[in-house]
Structure 1
């Protein structure tokens, strides 16, 4: 069976990636290793560094994923600092920051770094455009999902299946899958 390590402690991300991987016959094995996260200005830098670090330890093909919420009127904030900002401010804090702002455009972005330990990581990204809702809506998903408005619903109001059809993580993961299928000889898949 095809097996790929996913280095993360985030169960929500693991559930999403497992569901995306299953139709391709790929089993995702979660490794809850907490690598020291590089603080950088781009998701690509963070994911690349994490993949290099994890590959040196686990010596197997693996992925590291970093994602962020980029709010246009806040200059892309919180961007690569989304996990920290969510931990410190949460959804209520972001809504408070946005309380008097009319331009509510936002982008969810995901970057997946694949590394087999023998070469530089390969980076795959995906994004989805939306807006910041005026209030927290829905109990599904995780992180900023209940305030990210896609169409007339937040990611917190749609099912995981619905989200997996449109999400930023899906776009990035599909790009990874295409690459893996084209480069079977590079790794164990």
Structure 2
């Protein structure tokens, strides 16, 4: 049975036309609960990325791999290009 999972975020920018920016974090569901006493969102205790539970990642590490951060980075790049009239 597959334990693969993913988190997905989509951000829409609308200004006459709609542009979508998508971020995805591929992971897997653990067979056990990790770090039960750690102050994190409950899902972080059962989701593994690279074999490590998300509850084990530092904030900086989470920001690097976050599906939300990936989508927002794409939006930021788009807005930078737009500001510089490259789009």
TM-score (norm 1): 0.39
Task: Looking at secondary structure, tell me which structure has more strand per residue.
Answer: 2
Equivalent position SS for 1:137:
coil
Moved over 4 A (4+): none
Q: How many pairs does the alignment contain?
A: 83
Task: Looking at secondary structure, tell me which structure has more helix per residue.
Answer: 1
Q: What CA RMSD, in Å, does the superposition of the two structures yield over aligned residues?
A: 2.3
Give the direction of change, closer, same or farther, for the CA distance of 1:120–1:151 in structure 2 (3 Å limit): same
Q: Please, which of 3, 22, 31 is the counterpart of residue 125 of structure 1? A: 22
Which has the bigger relative contact order, CA under 8 A and spacing at least 6?
2
Q: Please, which of 55, 58, 64 is the counterpart of residue 156 of structure 1? A: 55
Which structure 2 residue ranges, 5 or more long, are not aligned?
none
Counterpart CA distance in 1 for 2:7 and 2:50 is 14
Which structure 1 residue ranges, 5 or more long, are not aligned?
1-101
TM-score (norm 2): 0.76
